[in-house]
A and B are shown apart, each in its own frame.
Chain A
């Protein structure tokens, strides 16, 4: 029953987020701040993880090819498919649920505990629009993060293949180009947009409606990470089923 109640409250929250807009001059500054916190601040970890996981995907693929009849370009092909279809959009989103999601929940939760949200309400500010809308707009730039993740994942795979002696550069690049379906990129970015919305709103929901003190802020961050991840995984399944089958 509590789950149904939370789902209802989540959609009511979304309705409030998009009503009674904050003054544009204030909103603009908030959006830039959120871009800095949520997008620029995540680039380091995304780049690091993407490069090395891309490398691991290439090594694992190469090590599992024992049959000499399987062409060497398959390493590049498998790396491209894994990175573009799943690793960059989904795996990075789960990592972002931990990094960005926890940050959003704890920052809004702390504002709740310290009565800063009450202060906004008393002043007549639509606190949900003020706090959540700039995050949604900032995270609409999330596909750029994923583009960089895709590039670095494939670059990591290429570097691992060449320097690990698993494949030649020409073979790897041939694998990247072979049977390329542009719709896969569209599918990946469509997923990314939806995940960006989830990353902005579910952690905000858990931060905004939390009750209690500092300990509950920590608990809310954990719960928000769990539910953001669950929703991303479920939506990933549904979107894949709808678009690729």
Chain B
């Protein structure tokens, strides 16, 4: 579980995060949504420790990140998996080398143990014959799956995903969403996903946090988001006619 208390962050005098307080629960896919410029990426990068918050606390399973020694911070990092928007695979390494990279860096496993683990996670993300391909030789969907495999190879306690299905076709996007949800539940990970994708919100949003202008404007589940009368949320989530109709049908079904 990750508890965030009153996180603030400014850049050059401009306050991007204005005191966000929330909790990301274990074994659930926690989604952060909001318009471009609402502070989602800064929030995610602050949770990851890539930005230092100006104020507030971040507790990883009750432990305050700010009080960690350098060694504790390094240990925590090995418990974090991250799937970047553009996958961020290392160009000069094959798919297999990318997946084995965190183990080669931080684990004391033998080469054969690392190989077995890499094979296992690649199979888990349904990649069977891409081991020796370079990222440039694979499709966007495959790259995302490799990124997920690399993120889970060290059996992380926390998984962060930045726009995991951006740039993917709708079918592949659903495959990636389902994969993240399955992995989260299977390994009981605290997963935090930054997304624009409303399909993801409806499908895997076990907990949703809506950010607006650096504030948390709403939080709830994918069931509650249909019923909310928060104008900021409804304007954002139901901006298309299709989703308006989906909402109407859902609410009608609930009434019936």
B84 and A123 contact, CB distance less than 8 A: no
| B45, closest chain A residue (CB) | A118
**A residues 84-104 in Cβ contact with B at 8 Å:** none
With beta carbons under 8 angstroms apart, the residue of A23, A33, A110, A122 that contacts B80 is A122
A123 and B102 contact, CB distance less than 8 A: yes
Asked if B109 is an interface residue, CB under 8 A from chain A, the answer is no
Of the listed stretches B86-94, B115-123, B224-232, chain A binds: B86-94
- Asked whether A119 and B82 contact (CB < 8 A) given A23-B105, A26-B105, A114-B88, the answer is yes
Asked if A125 is an interface residue, CB under 8 A from chain B, the answer is yes
Number of interface residues of B (CB under 8 A): 24
B84 and A115 contact, CB distance less than 8 A: yes
Asked if B254 is an interface residue, CB under 8 A from chain A, the answer is no
What's the minimum C-beta distance from A50 to chain B, rounded to whole angstroms?
A: 30
With beta carbons under 8 angstroms apart, the residue of B104, B106, B160 that contacts A124 is B106
B90 and A124 contact, CB distance less than 8 A: no
**A residues 109-143 in Cβ contact with B at 8 Å:** 110, 114-116, 118-119, 121-125
| A124, closest chain B residue (CB) | B77
What's the minimum C-beta distance from B48 to chain A, rounded to whole angstroms?
A: 6
Asked if B50 is an interface residue, CB under 8 A from chain A, the answer is yes
**B residues 198-248 in Cβ contact with A at 8 Å:** none
What's the minimum C-beta distance from A2 to chain B, rounded to whole angstroms?
A: 15
| A125, closest chain B residue (CB) | B105
A123 and B88 contact, CB distance less than 8 A: no
Interface residue tally of chain A, by bracket?
10 to 19
Interface of B is mostly: mixed
Asked if B46 is an interface residue, CB under 8 A from chain A, the answer is no
Asked if B78 is an interface residue, CB under 8 A from chain A, the answer is yes
What's the minimum C-beta distance from B214 to chain A, rounded to whole angstroms?
A: 21
B104 and A122 contact, CB distance less than 8 A: no
- Asked whether A124 and B78 contact (CB < 8 A) given A23-B105, A116-B91, A118-B50, the answer is yes
From A114, A115, A121, A124, name the one whose CB has the most chain B CB atoms within 10 angstroms: A124
A25 and B104 contact, CB distance less than 8 A: yes
A26 and B84 contact, CB distance less than 8 A: no
Asked if A168 is an interface residue, CB under 8 A from chain B, the answer is no
Asked if B85 is an interface residue, CB under 8 A from chain A, the answer is yes
A123 and B50 contact, CB distance less than 8 A: no
On chain A, the residues within 8 Å of B73 by CB distance are: 124
On chain A, the residues within 8 Å of B77 by CB distance are: 122-124
B85 and A115 contact, CB distance less than 8 A: yes
Asked if A222 is an interface residue, CB under 8 A from chain B, the answer is no
What's the minimum C-beta distance from A32 to chain B, rounded to whole angstroms?
A: 13
A sample of 15 cross-chain residue pairs with beta-carbon separation below 8 angstroms, ordered by A number, consists of A26-B104, A26-B105, A114-B91, A115-B86, A115-B88, A116-B91, A118-B45, A119-B84, A119-B88, A119-B90, A121-B50, A122-B49, A122-B160, A123-B106, A124-B105
A contact set with B: CB distance below 8 Å: 22-23, 25-26, 33, 110, 114-116, 118-119, 121-125
